[in-house]
Amino acid sequence: NSKLRHVEKDVLIPQIMRDRAKELCSDKVQAFTRCCQETGFLMVVKCRQENAALKDCLVGHYSDPSFYEECKAEYLKQREEYRATGIKKKRQKVTSNV
């Protein structure tokens, strides 16, 4: 059964998308994090370029319909496994400072 509830469409699948997009844009996340750590309070001004690159990368993934379908398929697989076993598996997350 691949019918999705409102919370699955609007919360759970977008969460998978955010996690995967952060993994795919990890180089930009690290560059932005490094810049913020080096500049302190002036990060708003000094890290604009890194922030814009990170934002472009993330938004590019969020707005890609094929990326949504991949994440939806991943969610449906997780849901199917949970329904079969009753054991919730957590995704491994890439550790970052963001």
Domain boundaries, the chain: 6-74
Tell me what pLDDT residue 93 has: 55
The yes-or-no verdict on residue 95 having pLDDT over 90 is no
In three-state form (DSSP H/G/I as H, E/B as E, the rest C), the secondary structure along the chain is: CCCCCHHHHHHHHHHHHHHHHHHHCHHHHHHHHHHHHHHHHHHHHHCHHHHHHHHHHHHHHHCCHHHHHHHHHHHHHHHHHHHHHCCCCCCCCCCCCC
Tens-digit pLDDT profile for residues 5-54:
999 999 999 999 999 999 999 999 999 999 999 998 888 899 999 999 99
